[in-house]
Amino acid sequence: MILRQEDVPQYVIDEMPEIDYVGKEELKRSSVYQIMHQLVDHTNKLIQESNLSAARKCFNIVNQLYTRGNARVKCAIENVYVYALDRMFLSCKCDKNEILQLVPQRLYSIYINQIVSSNI
């Protein structure tokens, strides 16, 4: 089943009930771009806390959203979440390679393509 941008809030609530949102009703009204910003912040927080198993879960959920999402969902992930990976890598206190190992191959490939494209 393809996930539409309208499906993303409920998917995130179901998959990540531990995330402390201002309110689940507010999250349900959020755009897919706003949700990606929230997931970036949450993933970054987990990395800063060295909670790498929880960070891996975030990466995997975003990867599943990308795999199952429609074009708008994929665009939001590419333009917000994947774009923010550099910031996550640079701000972490741990080894960057340790974080890179958490990123699913599909998201890592998109990240590398963004880097290559930006250097042309």
The closest alpha carbon to 73, from 7, 1, 17, belongs to: 7
Domain hosting residue 89, numbered range: 5-118
Q: Looking at residues 70-74, what average pLDDT do you find? A: 98
Amino acid symbol at 20: D
At 97-115, the pLDDT tens digits run 888 999 999 999 999 999 8
At 11-38, the pLDDT tens digits run 998 998 877 655 667 777 889 999 999 9
Domain count, the chain: 1
Rg (CA), the chain: 14
pTM exceeds 0.85? yes
